[in-house]
Structure 1
């Protein structure tokens, strides 16, 4: 159940949230909001793969 939820969240993240790797965002110049979004995407992806 939990893994299914995270897989669904990962699909939603992919369609809604911006992809900073495609935009080649420099982490040293990222805003706090951008860092939070990246952290959220990493958290969801990590839990979807477990």
Structure 2
């Protein structure tokens, strides 16, 4: 059940949040780093 929730969150994130994979992490703003960290955490939880 927990995995299904995170898979749904990944789909929502892909639809709503901006894609930051081509940008240099050192040049991102604080908000962009927070979004990137959140997306990474949700993806990792969905794959475990």
Task: Give per-residue Cα distances to partners, 1:1-25, cap 9 Å, x unaligned.
Answer: 100000000000000000011xx21
**Which runs of structure 1 show a deviation greater than 6 angstroms over 4 or more consecutive aligned residues?**
none
Structure 2 equivalent of residue 20 of structure 1: 20
Q: Which stretches in structure 1 are left out of the alignment for 5+ residues?
A: none
TM-score for the superposition, normalised by structure 2: 0.94
Task: Give per-residue Cα distances to partners, 1:1-50, cap 9 Å, x unaligned.
Answer: 100000000000000000011xx211111100000000000000000001
